[in-house]
Structure 1
């Protein structure tokens, strides 16, 4: 199954056609689209931008805040139909389905999304690093 996901080709909705998907577990994925754009997305970035509703998300003042995921890893990925991928992260999160369109959105807005995430963490006194064990 992993071999099948490493080289998927399908249509990515209204954006560009995906031409390559490569999982480099546990650190990141690379996705390439027919318009020539290629994105390298870290496991942390994918985890904090999960499209799933997750019980480990803190809502502070209506903001979605996921902290302590700097070292999260991707354990596996599985295709979902012909439109996306579901990741299994080592923090046991596995419910989000990342569509090809969503990958394109994440890659195109990577720096803004990450900058806003870091600002939100600082605003609430949280960190990208996991809490120490007590």
Structure 2
């Protein structure tokens, strides 16, 4: 059974690259991940996105250009990311960020598949004049 040792890697460095919209995070086990803001937004651990149980997830659409306006520490175990679309209710624990980094490709492909199935887009919807 995995996870018997409660040793969750902890970040040694977090950098926000505003121009490329990527959060670079390095962990004490030597891992380093570049997580796009859009990826972090669509995989927010908030109940608003994930729901309160399996099958209750809300597909996030139109988040391609989302920005992070602030990052706030939560104790010594997590951060809250404040997005410019006013989303700020997800608490990103170190183990969740590590999991996102380790499985980024798989999660992203699954997200793109779900978007396509729903007939939705990463592009923000524009309001017609």
- TM-based fold match above 0.5: yes
- Whether contact under 8 Å (2:48, 2:58) holds in the other structure is no
**Which residue pairs with 2:9 in the alignment?**
16
Map residues 50-61 of structure 1 onto 2, 5 A cutoff: 50-54=44-48
Structure 2 unmatched runs, 5+: 1-5
Say which of 73, 83, 100 aligns to 1:79.
73
Deviates more, 1:13-22 or 1:98-107: 13-22
Structure 1 unmatched runs, 5+: 1-12
Q: Give TM-score, length-normalised by structure 2.
A: 0.84
* Alignment partner of 1:125 is 2:119: yes
- Whether contact under 8 Å (2:46, 2:90) holds in the other structure is yes
Runs (4 or more) in structure 1 with deviation over 4 Å come to none
Secondary structure at the aligned position of 1:66 is classed as: coil
- Cα 1:107–1:50 change in 2 (3 A) is same
Say which of 24, 31, 47 aligns to 1:37.
31
CA-based RMSD of the aligned residues comes to 1.8
CA distance in 2 between counterparts of 1:97 and 1:129 reads 25
